Amino acid sequence: MVDSTERLPMVRVTETGRETTVDVVVTEFPLTIVLNERPVVTLLCSPANLDYLAVGFLFSEGLLRGEEDIREIAVDQEAGTVLVKTKKAILPSSKRLVASGGGRGAPFAPLNKQAKVDSSLEIKTSEVFALMDDFIRRSAVFRATGGVHSAALCDRGGVLVFNEDIGRHNAIDKVFGQCMLQGIQTAGHLVVTSGRVSSEILLKVARRNAPLLISKSAPTTMGVMMAGELGMTLVGFARAGKANIYTNEWRVLDGR
């Protein structure tokens, strides 16, 4: 288990004075992902589950189509690298979209190529609230430091896969990377995130055919628009007992 936090000395000041103490600070780790001996990107991330992150990132960027493309994965925690080799040659383009407060974009997977998410999944409001309870309870690093995002793959009954990272994009990539490596189905399931839902986040979830995305935070206009166009249900500001449904509300049913 890699530690995603460090204890650092710190001075706490208030209106009445100061005291020297120790704070738990979230680790920022530079990870270089190398695809077929070519460095693709350096991500700043939390240093746990680097293989999940690498695989999830490469999938989000359209550089892997699935687990079946992967020949070999080698994580070197010391060097800060994950080396991924594919069965067939894949050449990353150097063009990329870079985005606000998170953004890496999905230049290889534009919206006009993304198929609608076709799923008859429905969930009760009481199940949404129970999921959020469970999700928030698991966010241990966040509680300690106030500095990380969480993401989870869920079904109606609860959390199936859970990951944390200082980046909201990374947290979701880790979830989907883990699903790919462990053969866990994402189609027809729910995704929960602590972070804002921008167009990029929405697109990541659409690419895994998960029809329902629930966030503790706000969506953006492009996130809402895309969710509508792709047939997805987007829920924001979800907490125990309250949530906003922006698109395709039919998937969320009244009652317990």
Nearer residue to a copy of itself within complex by CB, 38 or 87: 38
Q: Is 77 in the site for a copy of itself (CB under 8 A)?
A: no
User: Residue 12 carries which DSSP code?
Assistant: E
Out of 127, 165, 179, 230, the only residue in the binding site for a copy of itself (CB under 8 A) is 165
Nearer to a copy of itself, 99 or 160 (CB): 99
CA 56 – CA 35 distance, rounded (Å): 13
> Burial, 134: exposed, middle or buried (Cβ in 10 Å; 0-12, 13-18, 19+)?
middle
Q: What is the DSSP letter of 123?
A: E
Within residues 177-206, the interface with a copy of itself by CB under 8 A covers: 195-196, 198-200
* Residues 87-126, interacting with a copy of itself (CB under 8 A): 94, 96-105, 125-126
d(C-alpha 87, C-alpha 144), whole Å: 41
Q: For the chain, first and last CA: distance in Å?
A: 38
Distance CA 151, CA 149 (A): 7
Which uninterrupted H or E stretch holds 39? strand 38-45
Query: Phi and psi for 80 in degrees, rounded to 5?
Result: 70, 40
One-letter amino acid for residue 212 of the chain: L
Does residue 158 sit in helix, strand or coil? Answer: strand
Residues in the chain: 256
> Is the CB of 99 or the CB of 121 nearer to a copy of itself?
99
Tell me the site size for a copy of itself, rule CB under 8 A.
71
Stretch binding a copy of itself (CB under 8 A), from 38-46, 62-70, 84-92, 152-160: 38-46
Q: Rounded to the nearest whole angstrom, what is the least distance from the CB of residue 156 to a copy of itself in the complex? A: 16
Among 114, 119, 222, 231, binds a copy of itself (CB under 8 A): 222
Residue 240 CB coordination number (10 Å):
13
- Tell the smallest beta-carbon distance from residue 238 to a copy of itself (Å): 9
Instruction: Tell me which stretch binds a copy of itself (CB under 8 A): 80-88, 153-161, 164-172, 204-212.
Output: 164-172
Q: Closest CB to a copy of itself among 4 and 178?
A: 4
CB of 233 to a copy of itself, least distance (A): 10
**Which residues, in sequence order, are CB contacts of 210 under 8 Å at separation 6+?**
117, 153, 186, 187, 188, 189, 190, 191, 232
Residue from 62, 147, 188, 231 in contact with a copy of itself (CB under 8 A): 147
CB of 20 to a copy of itself, least distance (A): 9
Which residue, 32 or 184, has its beta carbon nearer to a copy of itself? 32
We find the least distance from the C-beta atom of residue 165 to a copy of itself, in angstroms, to be 6
Min CB(25)–a copy of itself separation in Å: 5
**Residue 163 binds a copy of itself, judged by CB under 8 A:** no
